[in-house]
Amino acid sequence: MAIKYIDTILKLIGVLFVTAWIGCDSGCFENRTSIPKAAFYAYNMPDNAITVDSITVYGIGQQSGAMLFDCGKKVSQFSIPFRNDADTTQYVIRYDMKALARYNICDTLTISYTRYPHFISADCGVTFNYTINDLSYTTHMLDSAALMVDEVTNVDEETMRLYYAVQ
């Protein structure tokens, strides 16, 4: 009887150990970044995504490494990280197509937002989320731009659309 009692206790300890081990798996596996995405669309066909060839996208007034594309080929969308140390972020889109490169044609996106910390979990920590207050842009090649969502969280979704006249 004592052996059966010890066997039951050992099984119970084993179950508790496995439960505690699984419960203590403290990895952080969810997306912890809140990065907006911009995508290119045809103005005359607003539901048709397009690719843009030979563009350069870089940030204004940001730390080094703010170059998103340097003469990127066949770009249909891109991430546009917001600054955590400011309430406005600006990006330049330079059109490097062979016929336009010598003219140095650029459009500028200016996004104003309110940033706020968002607690994810003890393991994952805190990230910044953003509420977009304003989107302004130049229209040298860009026809228009529209916000698809005004709240930027760690959900992977299209934040804004950039519309171009295409033939």
145-162: average pLDDT: 94
- The CA-based dihedral angle spanning residues 144, 103, 100, 80, taken in that order and rounded to the nearest 10 degrees: -50
Q: What is the pLDDT of residues 88-116, one digit of tens each?
A: 999 999 998 888 778 889 999 999 999 99
Q: What is the pLDDT of residue 154?
A: 87
d(CA 138, CA 140): 6
Q: What is the pLDDT of residue 3?
A: 61
User: What is the pTM (predicted TM-score) of this model?
Assistant: 0.77
Any domain includes 4: no
Any domain includes 114: yes
Any domain includes 140: yes
Any domain includes 103: yes
Both tokens assigned to 153: 């969280």
Any domain includes 53: yes
Share of the chain above pLDDT 90, in %: 43
Identify the CA nearest to 66 among candidates 39, 35, 91, 33: 91
Identify the CA nearest to 110 among candidates 158, 77, 147, 68: 147
Any domain includes 13: no
Any domain includes 16: no
d(CA 57, CA 92): 6
Residue 100, domain extent: 37-164
**How many domains, in total, are found in the chain?**
1
Any domain includes 11: no
